[in-house]
Structure 1
Amino acid sequence: MIKYQEIANDIRKNILAGQYLSGVQLPLEKEMCAQYNVSRITIKKAVDELVKLGLVIKRRGAGTFVKSIDDEDAKDLSMARQFTGFTETNKGKTLRTEIIKFDVVHPDKEIAAKLQIATDDFVYDIIRVRFADGMPIVIEYTKMPINLIPGIKKDVLLKSIYFYIQHQLKLKIQSAHRSIRAISPNALEIEHLKVRDSFPLLEVEQIAFLDDGRAFEYSISHHRSDQIVFKSVSIRQ
């Protein structure tokens, strides 16, 4: 892992652990340079990474601050509580999974950067359709590093990858950074989600992290817009 990514992960762990509380200023660049024994350029890259993750904000002439959540209800929601998978969010329904693709590949540069791995590492390349009560709800395009999440087989994909990660591998899923946008379906999604080409889908692009700061999943999920509701917490910048 590149040095600035290691530093960003360390600061991120400290934020999630409560060492840096919401609204608190991070140490100055020169202090972090001394702490991590690196240059200012490396610290700047690390902080920029935290800005992209939505954890901190830079204020010109003042420094870098941990983002604050002001809504009272939001204060009770840790990042871990907000992060759930398909199986957890559809409890009580009859669930089914159809595997469209399950390969092992090298990631391209963009995926490798998002997962903080090298392009000569290996990742699972997974496409799944998830059903609830017989209705196709979402098609998921997932990449996961094999060295971090070993042993995934088809029986895992047919159930819950997150259950496998937490209960079989004994890893703790901590948080996810998401982007949501509206899109039109492609031919694969028209076929498997049973929609027309004019039917809007909601795309959720996600990078998910373990509690030690390592990115274990990059995924793009395309949801039927008539079967899903997303709730969010707004953060004042």
Structure 2
Amino acid sequence: MSENKYLSIYNDLLSKIEKGIFKPGMKIPSENQLVEQYETSRETIRKALNLLSEHGYIQKIKGKGSIVLDVRKFDFPISGLISFKELAQKLGKPSRTIVEQLEVMKPDDMLKKHLHVTARDDIWKVVRVREIEGERIILDKDFFNKKFVPFLSKDICERSIYEYLEKELQLKISFAKKEFFVEECTDEDRKYLHVKQYTHVVVVRNYVYLDDASLFQYTESRHRLDKFRFVDFARRIHLH
């Protein structure tokens, strides 16, 4: 019961931070106040606060209490596994997805290496442009092993592939390996994106795995330089 209690308190406090009830720089109520408010033990409150601290939402300062940190996560779909649809909802800005290409293909040498597939495998290739506030700023090139994703349509790709995979196909998407680098704009970038005066793009490569550790997706996301911001949170672990 106490296990569920501290998680429900954590989620309630997190909700207040995300909704702006507790703003960055604000001090959240003291342990004593929280004990009273949630009618629970100090230990349960401490467990909830420790979890908030570990996830980068608060900083516990001796003698001052817990201060809310300004950690705006998921500015772009790179820090964690998040679909563009989920991202757009978080940003609250007008956005749309334009499907430029949808086809089944045989893997070239690059895909054989990145998706761990053979010449016999069929691969879905999906090229989509992400538009935010009327500007085309992200070019997503997704490759799915057809063994795991037997069917895709333009409608699914415009709405949310992940929503379809998880709700309809019941796939359990678990984790991803990511690589970040900068490279010169290609003709494809200039064709699909509003690159303006920029000569380079930020490239994020994603290798996405299911919960049984099967690699089922390789993605290359190409971001316009001025609109790219990688936000993450890291806390140093002190070894004793």
TM-score of the superposition, structure 1-length normalised? 0.61
State whether structure 2 residue 104 is matched by structure 1 residue 122: no
Report the counterpart of residue 86 of structure 1 in structure 2.
84
Query: For residues 215 and 93 of structure 2, what CA distance do their matches in structure 1 show?
Result: 29
Report the counterpart of residue 6 of structure 1 in structure 2.
none
Give deviations 1:6-43, integer Å, cap 9, x for gaps. xxxxxxxxxxxxxxxxxxxxxxxxxxxxxxxxxxxxxx
Please, which moves more after superposition, 108-117 or 147-156? 108-117
State whether structure 2 residue 179 is matched by structure 1 residue 179: yes
Report the counterpart of residue 190 of structure 1 in structure 2.
190
User: Residue 108 of structure 1: CA displacement?
Assistant: 2.1
Q: 1:186 to 1:110 in 2, by over 3 A?
A: closer
| Partners of 2:54 and 2:235 within 8 A in 1 | no
Query: For residues 166 and 95 of structure 1, what CA distance do their matches in structure 2 show?
Result: 22
User: Residue 97 of structure 1: CA displacement?
Assistant: 1.6
What number of residue pairs does the alignment pair up? 164
Q: 1:181 to 1:88 in 2, by over 3 A?
A: same
* One-letter identity of the residue aligned with 1:117: V
User: Residue 153 of structure 1: CA displacement?
Assistant: 0.8
Query: For residues 84 and 154 of structure 1, what CA distance do their matches in structure 2 show?
Result: 20
| Partners of 1:131 and 1:137 within 8 A in 2 | yes
* One-letter identity of the residue aligned with 2:84: F
TM-score of the superposition, structure 2-length normalised? 0.61
Report the counterpart of residue 139 of structure 2 in structure 1.
139
Q: 1:1-237 counterparts in 2 under 5 A?
A: 72-73=54-55, 82-91=80-89, 92-196=92-196, 198-232=198-232
Report the counterpart of residue 64 of structure 1 in structure 2.
none
SS of the equivalent of 1:229 reads coil
Unaligned runs of 5+ in 2: 1-52, 57-72, 74-78
- The percent identity for this pair of structures is 27
| Partners of 1:184 and 1:198 within 8 A in 2 | no
| Partners of 2:198 and 2:225 within 8 A in 1 | no
| Partners of 1:105 and 1:123 within 8 A in 2 | yes
SS of the equivalent of 2:136 reads strand
Query: For residues 124 and 139 of structure 2, what CA distance do their matches in structure 1 show?
Result: 16
User: Residue 233 of structure 1: CA displacement?
Assistant: 5.5
* One-letter identity of the residue aligned with 1:144: F
Q: Provide the aligned C-alpha RMSD in A.
A: 2.8
Query: For residues 114 and 232 of structure 2, what CA distance do their matches in structure 1 show?
Result: 22
User: Residue 192 of structure 1: CA displacement?
Assistant: 2.1
| Partners of 1:138 and 1:224 within 8 A in 2 | yes
User: Residue 95 of structure 1: CA displacement?
Assistant: 2.5
| Partners of 1:104 and 1:122 within 8 A in 2 | yes
| Partners of 1:96 and 1:131 within 8 A in 2 | yes
| Partners of 1:184 and 1:197 within 8 A in 2 | no
SS of the equivalent of 1:226 reads helix
SS of the equivalent of 2:124 reads strand
Query: For residues 194 and 137 of structure 1, what CA distance do their matches in structure 2 show?
Result: 6
* One-letter identity of the residue aligned with 1:86: F
SS of the equivalent of 1:150 reads coil
